[in-house]
Structure 1
Amino acid sequence: NISCLKDGKTIDMPIKGHVSFRGKNGIKGEVVMRNGKILGWAWGAGFVDGIGQGMERASQPAVGLGATAAYGAGDVLKMGIGGGASKAAQTLSDYYIKRAEQYHPVIPIGAGNEVTVVFQDGFQLKT
């Protein structure tokens, strides 16, 4: 893709071509994924989700077969806190995972490297 700014508008469109550096196709560099921190946050939110679910289940009294249980105010409060924390953490985890999926690998190169851009087909920048 080529990304540029034309008349104050951002353009991002697919092209056919490549970049050459010192007569060689491509630029050497190490591929870096920058979504590690976001995946860590998603893991943390998932962990809180698990704690919330455990807290919600632990606050439900166990009774024998055919018996019914009456929930006290403390049990209801614990189930509410556990269920709320679980739902919020699950939503947050889903959000972080969607954000991480938007990241693309990059190859960082030093500033000032002169490259040759080779276009294999013609194109017109469309705003």
Structure 2
Amino acid sequence: MPKGHSLRLTSAAAAELGRQAAVAGTPGLMHVDLVEGGCEQWTIRLRPGHLAGVPIARADGVTLHAPLEQTALLAGLSLDYRGDLSGGGFLVRSAEGVRTCACGAAFSPLLGRGRATR
């Protein structure tokens, strides 16, 4: 996982990923993949465990895995977590060449970025 070539996790995202992994019985292991559709081309889906793929981010004791064919789309993005009294959610923070949705959980690569296959 060379720096700058993987997804970055904020401390808030790492803490929430770690909490979710522990509750699910897979301490330190989470999986992200991209699902087509939603308010932009790709929507993030987070699940506990190491379901398949390669590690793309590590922070605060949690390792996030993703399908190898989707790593180019996730490269350079940041995953954040925002919570308040009414709930919380993960947010994709934009990188150059990426448009994010107002919901924060979906994005579209602009021209020149790779496309993932399923």
Q: TM-score, normalised by structure 2?
A: 0.17
Higher strand share: 2
Higher helix share: 1
Larger radius of gyration: 1
